[in-house]
């Protein structure tokens, strides 16, 4: 599957590079290694370890070039490239105690205490069943996470609905419903006061409602393990929209969907439109797929065989566990989310620092099997959602092209879960007035970027109204870069679609939907097992 001439060229290049590497090593002139795994002084100052790092990187680079030269279909090449990367990252010399000068230095300086602590950390994580990425003793949902003041005003077997307490004397008359992904817990949108999108939105004068999805457990006795995508649309998103409308007294509300929550929200609105309903005035989609043609690195998991196996395992009921989901997402970026912690926690005996985002990342949720298998086949595998009237949800044909309300679409430039050009593809599906904003960083850090920190930047195009939305590369070529958070840009857009200001209500809910308990509610506190 490789041209013999290309094999010869790769061998020649490797041999020459290896010769140069050995020559530099004997002369003590090896250049500094830029790779973070080998960039410390301990690696640079020891000629043997420095040569080992260079040799590893040379060999890894050659392996990647070999895969690139294979005459195989692109999909097969990407799967092979992913597998090769996993093995190469796992066998990096930095991951082995005897080959890591940083670990050996710590062992010497602590007289062996670092390794003793590392083994204790390893045993603790083995009992827990996952690698510790943060000091989890620092955080607690309801104490210092998800603490924006509010009340649960509705509950069913799928979700609790939280209404947040106004923080301004007057509020916009059109409320906002936030729909987070059910694949994670909602408080990524309400971490701590200084980085909470919920708190920020409330402070801007909006009445905010939010769905807190239930975390199903193996011991649950009701039918939650048999819940389908249709159940989550009908009894989840559409029900939440109805309750928010009843509580607020508004025929139309505004709605925001994040990641899978955005996909679910768009499906629900398409169902509502086919039923002759138009419940949302303005729509916000954050890092959301509607067109699954390009799913980035996730594509390595997508094929008919995988879908069929999953349908046999989970299609009639059961749970896709949080542990499996967490492991899958971690190994999409193994050096950052796996091996980095192996080295620091186990080889060096360090304790991970407290980081709210990583605490949330470890606080996973289980998914009902039928929900997952429907989602996997109809989105990642067959890309059916963008096909007008091709699929039915709750007996209703789905046509996303019917959605013509104003929409704000946000994507993150370095997003490895929802590639930004795939989020951009929604501009060619949705028919209403659109604003597309591209933020810096990745899937989570790009979204959770509060203005007070003045970090990162975002790109916008002022030519959209005149020129429409060309292909993503052409759009990016006509953008302006803006320093700081995209939140104020979105807030200004949302305010323009939120109606007039009215006096804020002092109590949550209404006669039909009384306050059930204080936010964050009980559903979000359930731990996956």
Report the alpha-carbon distance of residue 284 to residue 65 in Å, rounded.
41
Examine residue 266 and state whether it is found in any structural domain, yes or no: yes
d(CA 385, CA 302): 16
What is the C-alpha separation between 481 and 460, in angstroms, rounded?
7
Residue 138 lies in a domain: no
Of 5, 94, 14, 6, residue with least CA distance to 62? 14
For residue 339, being part of any structural domain is answered with: no
Is 483 found in the same domain as 394? yes
In a domain, 428, yes or no: yes
> Quick one: pLDDT at residue 6?
87
Is 157 contained in some domain?
A: yes
Same domain, residue pair 20 and 156: no
Which residues, in sequence order, are bridge partners of residue 481?
A: 459
**Cα separation, 265 vs 233, whole angstroms:** 8
> Is residue 41 domain-shared with residue 167, that is, in the same domain?
no
What are residue 211's DSSP bridge partners? 161
Say yes or no: 76 and 210 in one domain.
no
**CA-based angle 479:480:481, to the nearest 5?**
120
Q: Which residues, 6 or more positions from 116, have their beta carbon under 8 angstroms from its beta carbon?
A: 349
Domain limits for position 278: 150-321+366-525
Residue 466: the pLDDT is 63
Q: Are residues 76 and 154 in the same domain?
A: no
Query: Are 185 and 312 in a shared domain?
Result: yes
Neighbours of 187 (CB within 10 A): 26
Structural domain contains residue 90: no
Check if the beta carbon of residue 125 is closer than 8 Å to that of residue 178: no
Instruction: Say if 483 falls within a structural domain.
Output: yes
What's the CA gap between 265 and 236, in Å, rounded?
A: 10
What is the C-alpha separation between 364 and 321, in angstroms, rounded? 9
Given this model, what pLDDT does residue 465 score? 63
Task: Identify whether residues 44 and 165 lie together within a single domain.
Answer: no
Q: Is 259 a catalytic residue?
A: yes
Residues 57 and 154 in one domain: no
77 and 155 part of one domain: no
| Whether residues 19 and 154 fall in one domain | no
Q: Which of 176, 177, 259, 307 is catalytic?
A: 259
CATH number at residue 519: 3.40.50.1820
The predicted pLDDT at position 391 comes to 96
Last residue of a domain, one of 52, 67, 84: 84
Question: Do 76 and 190 share a structural domain?
Answer: no
Domain for residue 328, yes or no? no
pLDDT (0 to 100) of residue 3? 81
Count up the domains in the chain and report the number: 2
pTM over 0.85, yes/no? yes
* Sheet bearing 280-286, strands edge to edge: 480-483, 457-460, 434-439, 407-412, 280-286, 253-258, 176-179, 208-213, 159-164, 150-155, 517-518
Total residues belonging to the chain? 529
Phi, psi (deg, nearest 5) at residue 287: 40, 60
Name every residue whose Cβ is closer than 8 Å to that of residue 107 and which is 6 or more positions away in sequence. Answer: 97, 114, 115
Q: Which of 38, 62, 84 is the last residue of a domain?
A: 84
- Co-location of 59 and 157 in the same domain: no
Show pLDDT as tens, one digit a residue, over the chain (529 residues): 678 888 899 999 999 999 999 999 999 899 999 999 999 999 999 999 999 999 999 999 999 999 998 989 988 899 999 999 999 999 999 999 999 999 999 999 999 999 999 999 999 999 998 999 999 999 999 999 999 999 999 999 999 999 999 999 999 999 999 999 999 999 999 999 999 999 999 999 999 999 999 999 999 999 999 999 999 999 999 999 999 999 999 999 999 999 999 999 999 999 999 999 999 999 999 999 999 999 998 999 999 999 999 999 999 999 999 999 999 999 999 999 999 999 999 999 999 999 999 999 999 999 999 999 999 999 999 999 999 999 999 899 999 999 999 999 999 999 999 999 999 999 999 999 999 999 999 999 999 999 998 999 999 997 776 668 999 999 999 999 999 999 999 999 999 999 999 999 999 999 999 999 999 999 999 999 7
pLDDT of residue 204: 98
């Amino acid at each position: 599957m490789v041209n013999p001439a290309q094999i010869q060229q790769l061998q020649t290049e490797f041999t020459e590079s290896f010769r140069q590497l050995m020559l530099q090593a004997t002369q003590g002139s090896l250049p500094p290694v830029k790779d973070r795994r080998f960039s410390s002084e301990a690696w640079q100052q020891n000629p043997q370890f420095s040569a080992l790092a260079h040799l590893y990187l040379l060999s890894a680079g050659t392996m990647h070039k070999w895969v690139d030269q294979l005459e195989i279909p692109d999909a097969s090449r990407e799967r092979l490239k992913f597998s090769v990367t996993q093995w190469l990252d796992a066998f990096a010399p930095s991951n082995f105690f005897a080959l890591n000068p940083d670990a050996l230095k710590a062992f010497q300086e602590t007289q062996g205490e670092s390794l003793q602590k590392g083994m204790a950390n390893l045993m603790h994580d083995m009992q827990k069943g996952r690698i510790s990425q943060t000091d989890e003793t620092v955080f607690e949902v309801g104490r210092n996470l998800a603490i924006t003041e509010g009340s649960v005003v509705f509950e069913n077997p799928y979700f609790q609905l939280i209404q947040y307490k106004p923080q301004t004397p007057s509020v916009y008359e059109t409320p906002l419903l936030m729909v987070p992904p059910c694949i994670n817990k909602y408080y990524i949108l309400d971490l701590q006061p200084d980085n909470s999108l919920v708190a920020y939105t409330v402070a801007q004068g909006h009445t905010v409602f939010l769905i807190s999805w239930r975390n199903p457990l193996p011991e649950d006795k009701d039918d939650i393990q048999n819940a389908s995508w249709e159940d989550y649309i009908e009894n989840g998103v559409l029900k939440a929209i109805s309750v928010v409308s009843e509580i607020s007294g508004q025929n139309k509300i505004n709605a925001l969907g994040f990641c899978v929550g955005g996909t679910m929200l768009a499906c629900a609105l398409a169902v509502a439109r086919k039923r002759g309903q138009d419940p949302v005035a303005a729509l916000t989609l954050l890092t959301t797929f509607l067109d699954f043609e390009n799913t980035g690195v996730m594509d390595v998991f997508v094929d008919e065989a995988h879908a069929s196996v999953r349908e046999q395992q989970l299609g009639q009921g059961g749970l896709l566990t949080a542990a499996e989901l967490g492991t899958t997402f971690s190994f999409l970026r193994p050096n950052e989310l796996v091996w980095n912690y192996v080295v620091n926690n186990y080889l060096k005996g360090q304790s991970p620092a407290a980081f709210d985002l990583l605490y949330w990342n470890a606080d996973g949720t289980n998914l009902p099997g039928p929900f997952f298998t429907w989602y996997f086949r109809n989105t990642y595998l067959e890309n059916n959602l963008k096909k007008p009237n091709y699929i039915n949800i709750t007996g209703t044909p789905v046509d996303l092209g019917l959605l013509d309300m104003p929409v704000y679409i946000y994507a993150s430039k370095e997003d490895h879960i929802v590639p930004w050009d795939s989020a951009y593809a929604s501009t060619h599906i949705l028919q209403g007035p659109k604003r597309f904003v591209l933020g810096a960083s990745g899937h989570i850090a790009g979204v959770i970027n509060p203005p007070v920190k003045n970090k990162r930047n975002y790109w916008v195009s002022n030519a959209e109204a005149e020129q429409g939305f060309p292909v993503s590369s052409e759009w990016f070529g006509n953008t302006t870069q803006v320093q700081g958070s995209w939140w104020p840009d979105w807030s200004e857009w949302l305010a323009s679609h939120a109606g007039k200001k009215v006096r804020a209500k002092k109590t949550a809910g209404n006669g039909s939907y009384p306050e059930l308990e204080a936010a964050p509610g009980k559903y979000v506190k359930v731990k996956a097992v």
